[in-house]
Amino acid sequence: MRYRKLDSAGDMLFGHQLQDFFIDDSLAVAQAVKTRLALWLGEWYLDLEDGTPWQNGILGKGTDVTADALLRRRILETEGVVEIVDGTYFSTLDRDTRTLSVACTIETIYGTAQVSA
């Protein structure tokens, strides 16, 4: 798996050839998880069926029961993810700041990686 690295602002890195990529690395899978979680359902014009259902399944009213299941499924469906390590998945919803944080440890085909988004 080859995945272009992102800087702290979320922009792709260019100009350093292969140093700008994660290659066969658990960090590539972790970054893929983060970018998949950040993609809203219907946002990508080439595949309107792909994305995280933020509006209707995670952040809407009455989604307290379904939100974690949807997020976990989105993580597990990411290429290279084998499993979410038991007891490491946490999500925190702050209604005052309207933010949702997700953190977990994933087992990938390349090893273990931490994800926080």
Instruction: State pLDDT tens for residues 38-76.
Output: 999 999 999 999 999 998 888 877 887 889 999 999 999
SS3 label, residue 117: coil
pLDDT per residue as tens digits for the range 78-92: 999 999 999 999 999
- The band of 28, judged by pLDDT with boundaries at 50, 70 and 90, is very high
Domain boundaries, the chain: 2-116
Q: What's the predicted TM-score (pTM) here? A: 0.90
Task: Return the CATH number of 2-116, one of 3.30.420.40, 3.90.1150.10, 3.10.450.40, 3.40.50.10210.
Answer: 3.10.450.40
Task: Compute the distance between CA of residue 111 and CA of residue 117 in angstroms, rounded to an integer.
Answer: 19
Burial class for 47, CB neighbours closer than 10 Å (0-12, 13-18, 19+): exposed
Two tokens, residue 15: 């100009």
Half-sphere exposure of 80 (CA within 13 A, CB side): 22
